[in-house]
Structure 1
Amino acid sequence: MDKRSLLGRIVKIYPAIQALISGEATTSEDRGLLVSWDSLLRRRSEYTELVQKKIPENSKEIAVARSYGDLRENHEYKAAKEMQKILMKRKAELEMDLTRARGTDFADVSTSSVNPGTRVRVKELSQQKDEIYTILGAWDSDPESGIISYLSPFAKNLISKSVGDTFEMTQDHEVRKYLIESIEPHQHTFKHAGLHEDDAEDATPAVGQEVQA
């Protein structure tokens, strides 16, 4: 079984790792990431599960597969080693993101212009259609509810603009023009509103925990 076949089997079992294999995983900007406390705790929980469960389990799988001997034709060993690369890559990505992350509940956000933590009503001018977007943290995204990350292309066109400003977006190979009609504080309910960094640190283990691979 070649490497491509092994990766295909891994993706079939763990579909979520497709983005990691293809290099499509979201990368963070060099500056700090503004994130909601809810999304920060979710990301830290993912890291905890990775270093305390998934990586140790993978290490055991490698050891068991190695015991079968003849590593050149040992498909179980090759598959486990490929999974190890994926897990360690994700671990490094999470550590980088979590080191940059700054948690917030977007309280007391300024509405003089569009900022993370604001709810914005825009009008798509060609069809005179109103749309509402809530701009939250780097890891917040729920398109069906109109929640978008401030790092998304659409939000980047909105940030720092004021009521009455217009902007253009290319969507489906068509340039569309929008008018900002109103800006108000977000109405999203966070499970961990009012959390502080010390509380978040207590909720999850520290980043950078050493793992035996």
Structure 2
Amino acid sequence: MAMAELPITLAGKTKLEAELNQLVKVEREELKVSISEARELGDLKENAEYHSAKEKQAIVEGRIAQLQGILARSRVVEVSKIKSTKIVFGATVTVLDVAKDASITYRIVGEDESDSRENKISFTSPLGKALIGKEEGDTVIVKAPKGDVEFEIESFEFID
């Protein structure tokens, strides 16, 4: 069964590719050196450097495989070319948190690029799902752990 394609922004793809590149070209190579140096220290059973390097190698290889999988099934969406009167993947949306009377701007992105510190939310998140398909002026209610949160959509745009 083919894996479903996952939408990703160009910036998100570039960031993942840069991480993959760093892991493959730098960290993987540095670990090979560490492991061979540790081997030369003799008895591997009690060789902490060797075990530590092998453990780190397993983590790095796992992340490389994970990133390659994500990139293989990602489909870049050129956000600036989207012409839509409704909110879709990639939109930058400004909403009013009705209870707090505060405006917040979110960008709706792929699962692997969401980052709450940067207000990037996944299209599969509760808020992301609630916003998709809506228009300016619409109100959405998101179920949150502390109760429902009401947002009013103030504006949205498609920028890369």
Q: TM-score range by the shorter chain?
A: 0.7 to 0.9
Displacement of 1:116 after TM fit? 1.7
2:102 counterpart residue number? 129
Which residue identity is paired with 1:106? Answer: V
Question: Using the alignment, how far apart are the partners of 1:90 and 1:80 within structure 2?
Answer: 15
Displacement of 1:52 after TM fit? 1.9
Displacement of 1:113 after TM fit? 1.8
* SS in structure 2 of the partner of residue 162 of structure 1: coil
Describe the superposition over 1:83-131 as per-residue Cα deviations: whole angstroms up to 9, x where unpaired.
1110111011011001011123313324322112323232323344333
| Length, aligned pairs only | 158
1:160 counterpart residue number? 133
2:61 counterpart residue number? 88
1:186 counterpart residue number? 158
Residue identity over aligned pairs, in percent, reads 30
Which residue identity is paired with 1:150? Answer: F
Displacement of 1:155 after TM fit? 1.5
Q: Does 1:112 align with 2:80?
A: no
1:73 counterpart residue number? 46
Displacement of 1:79 after TM fit? 0.4
Which residue identity is paired with 1:41? Answer: T
User: Where is the strand percentage greater, Structure 1 or Structure 2?
Assistant: 2
2:21 counterpart residue number? 48
1:10 counterpart residue number? none
Question: Using the alignment, how far apart are the partners of 1:177 and 1:170 within structure 2?
Answer: 9
* SS in structure 1 of the partner of residue 79 of structure 2: coil
Question: Using the alignment, how far apart are the partners of 1:83 and 1:103 within structure 2?
Answer: 31
* SS in structure 2 of the partner of residue 50 of structure 1: helix
- The normalised TM-score by structure 2 is 0.80
Q: Does 1:34 align with 2:3?
A: no
- The normalised TM-score by structure 1 is 0.63
Which residue identity is paired with 1:125? Answer: V
Q: RMSD value over aligned CA atoms?
A: 2.6
